[in-house]
Amino acid sequence: MVEQQQTRIGLSDKFVPFMKSLDGLKMETKKHRVEELPVILNNGNIQKTIDDYYKFLQLVQIDEIRTHLGGMDAIGMFHELKRGVVKDGPYFEISIFEAANRIMTDLTILFGIQELLFHERLSEYKNYRVEFGNGNKQLFDIHSDSTRGGRRLVGEAFNVAPSYFHTKKSQELTKLRKYKQPSDFILLLFNQDAFTERTTLVNTEFELHLAVDVEKKHKQFNPAPV
């Protein structure tokens, strides 16, 4: 019994410092640059936040990626898109494919919020709390409390291909309608180029679907290719 107890104590003595060393490693993990951005967006900071995001985009090794993909066959290119790593930018040390998904959704949020801040119907919402592509702390991507009190806006944002649009739209609306409060205003932000002839934009007292022309706004903001 004594020997067993000593063995257990010995393991514990080794285990605790080991776990502490792991905690240290976690603290040293680099944060994605997007985490430097404010999560509450309003008229006072939306333009600077977009400016800062574009500064992060300039850090993506786009010429290296272009050159690397140019010499590959189809399978090699698809594999690189799924497995090749983005070294810098808003996100880093994740695959090119995942970075593209996150960045395009972030731009949908940023340009979408920029429109909402000047949307006459939503003038009661002045501050939007958002969650960018790396976040997983909020139930919804977008949240805002009405300045008139007693009402809340909750929203989801996505950027997808037309072939996946209706599936994604259905998933996000199901989530919003399941978890929202009775008085909540529902917002859906998505990329305009996902539009199809079957797309119906909702604009009612309690719900708004806003198509964001990310490509157009990108060209207006940044005429030279990033």
Which band of pLDDT confidence, cut at 50, 70 and 90, is reported for residue 19?
very low
Question: Taking the model in full, what pTM does it have?
Answer: 0.82
Residue 90 has pLDDT above 70, yes or no: yes
Average pLDDT over residues 159-177: 94
SS3 assignment, position 60:
coil
| Residue 128 CB neighbour total at 10 angstroms | 24
25 Cα distance to chain centroid: 25
Average pLDDT over residues 150-168: 94
Exposure on the CB side of residue 68, measured as CA atoms within 13 A:
16
Residue 24 has pLDDT above 80, yes or no: no
- The pLDDT score that the predictor gives to residue 197 is 64
Residue 200 has pLDDT above 80, yes or no: no
Domains of the chain, by residue range, sit at 31-221
